A and B are shown apart, each in its own frame.
Chain A
Amino acid sequence: MSAPLLVFDHATIGRAGCELLRDVTFSVATGELVAILGLNGIGKSTLLAAALGDEAPLGGSVTLCGRPPASLRARERARLVAMLPEAEPLPYDVPVRDVIELGRFAHLGLLGRFGPADLQALTRAIEWTQVGPLLARGINELSAGERQRVLLARAFAQEPKLVLLDEPTAHLDPGRQLQVMATLRERVDEGTLGVLAVLHDPNLAGRFADRIVLLGAGGVLAMGPPNEVLRPELLARAYDVAFRCIADPEGGTPYVFADAGRR
């Protein structure tokens, strides 16, 4: 593992001056996929906003490749970090190819002409996400799963060192969820990318993440490899509902689920 890309150092995170999370300390390095779990509204998205420099930390520090993200120029920052939003429809029904080409914005010169390096990055991104057959279609005609793959291709075309994802698998059916996460995992295992993903499914995090940051009210509740964090007593505290856990007979991460009967 190499030098960390993103470091939260005793950071206090909030939105518009209102404190949400205190004393957040963790890092994401190249070749690592870190998942964030926690209740809705607890500050997961704000954590990503802090990583992007859209929200300044209220205390402590957040650094992206050694610098506060807000101090980076927009183009510089976009070459370091890509953000994958939820698969919402776009304002215009733009062809998929144009959407992916936008990923190169931060790499293009004044006239916006594509060079060989840009075309290569596009080809690779399209290949990795297998969106080749969709290129001529409109982005809003696609299903949510296809749209998310296209946005992932745009993020890869950006050639970032770090990818941030905000509930990348919301609204996707199970097969598509696995597909998106597996595509990310492949790039991470290549050792060229770090990923920080806000997820809503603990088991998806358990299966794909190297480390999980579990958020509770006001701060980090637990942090570590999946089998240390996905424990019923910790999850019960984080999600305010009883959890049960089943061991994977094949030796993988245990499967956890909320137990509706108990609190």
Chain B
Amino acid sequence: MIRSPSRALALLALVLLAAFAAALLIGPQGWPSESILRLRLSRAELAVIVGAGLACTGTVLQALSGNPLADPFVIGASSGAAVGVVVARWCGVELTSRWLPLFTVVGAYAAIVLVLRIARAGGRTPVQTLLLAGVTVSTLGTAIVLLYYNFQTGTGDAGRTMLFLMGNLSESKPELIGLAAGCVALGIVAAGLSARALDAFASGEATARHLGVDVERCKLGFCLLSAALVGVVVAVAGMIGFVGLIVPHAARAMVGHSHRRLIAASALAGATFLLLADLAARTVAVPRELSVGAITALCGGPFFLLLLRRRVRERDALSHELDPRAKASVVPPTETSR
């Protein structure tokens, strides 16, 4: 359908512009007044920053772990950052403070390193262990957030907690948005500059080392980069799941596997996806506003299951092709093995 990857990139950029315009102009009240327009503008900016940041992180994590199911939400980075928010509140830091990202970045980094370290086996990061470790760390993080707010009852924080856990773009934080935009832009550029190393990592860590990648330094760098992006995103918008999972796959289908283009395509498509998801969240059930995280999860959940199913089937087929023992196991057990 689309012949050249550069044309696909141009198309993605056009679609992003169209989505941005739609996010400004479409809403429950006919033609928007200037104040509403300004409100929508800041919200659309936030969606672009958060969507691009999450999708770029997803692409980096999927290459780093050699695992197409990695995503900042799935592997627990987002909830690590959420614990960072709790710690920040506990230390008396306001939710709009410039110091908040410091806590979220540290939380996200701790979660990423913990999960990748637990899940690694023999130089690879297998699907099962990555998901199990990720789910566990993620649940643990969410539990800490919930517990913290349980002790805060009566202060009207319960509703805000839910908003935070499901992700939310309606709270504008003008103090943080510039910082977040800078971080995300820098992160995307850094990931794009190390595209070749990401290409190498995507064929497995041992292979990357043998091809000449300084594996340990790159891993540290990519983990820091992911943590920085997830950290600032969670600080401004809470936990929005599955953007980092779906978008890289769609981008791969459009521009191929080369990370130089994949990073750019993911950033563009991620921004577009979140703009549209937020547009849906605002307009589908007027006068109610839905949680944007619920929308992305509704799109991402089934997609994730589909990928997982395909992955498991592929693995089955391959292990039967390669491993003679797998073939032998099809044969009914003999007397002796019982």
Q: Which of B188-236 contact A (CB under 8 A)?
A: 193, 195-197, 199-200, 202-204, 206-207, 209-215
Residues of chain B lying within 8 A (CB to CB) of residue A106:
211-212
- In the complex the two chains form, is B199's CB within 8 Å of A98's CB? yes
Residues of chain A lying within 8 A (CB to CB) of residue B209:
54, 74
Question: Closest residue of chain B to A52, judged by CB?
Answer: B210
Specify which of A78, A108, A171 lies most central, judged by the most chain B CB atoms within 10 Å of its CB. Answer: A78
Interface membership of A244, Cβ < 8 A: no
Give the complex CA separation of A89 and B215 in angstroms: 21
- In the complex the two chains form, is B211's CB within 8 Å of A92's CB? no
Interface membership of B258, Cβ < 8 A: yes
Q: Which of B53-101 contact A (CB under 8 A)?
A: 66-68
Interface membership of A85, Cβ < 8 A: yes
Q: Which of A99-158 contact B (CB under 8 A)?
A: 99, 102-103, 105-106, 108, 110-112, 144, 158
A69 → B minimal CB distance (Å)? 11
Give the complex CA separation of A111 and B196 in angstroms: 9
Interface membership of A245, Cβ < 8 A: no
Chain B positions 256 through 270: 1 when the CB is less than 8 Å from some CB of chain A, otherwise 0:
111010000000000
Report the tally of A-B residue pairs with Cβ distances under 8 A.
71
Q: Which of A54, A75, A92 contacts B212 (CB 8 A)?
A: A75
Question: Closest residue of chain A to B124, judged by CB?
Answer: A91
- In the complex the two chains form, is B211's CB within 8 Å of A91's CB? no
Give the complex CA separation of A106 and B200 in angstroms: 11
Interface membership of B318, Cβ < 8 A: yes
28 residue pairs bridging A and B, Cβ less than 8 Å apart: A52-B210, A74-B209, A74-B213, A75-B212, A75-B214, A78-B210, A78-B212, A79-B212, A82-B210, A85-B206, A85-B207, A90-B204, A91-B203, A91-B204, A92-B66, A92-B68, A92-B203, A94-B202, A98-B256, A105-B196, A105-B199, A105-B200, A105-B212, A111-B193, A112-B195, A144-B321, A158-B211, A171-B322
Report A's interface with B, CB cutoff 8 A: 52, 54, 73-75, 77-79, 82-83, 85, 88-92, 94-95, 98-99, 102-103, 105-106, 108, 110-112, 144, 158, 171
Report B's interface with A, CB cutoff 8 A: 66-68, 193, 195-197, 199-200, 202-204, 206-207, 209-215, 256-258, 260, 318, 321-322
Nearest 6 Cβ contacts at the A-B interface: A78-B212, A106-B212, A91-B66, A83-B210, A112-B196, A75-B212
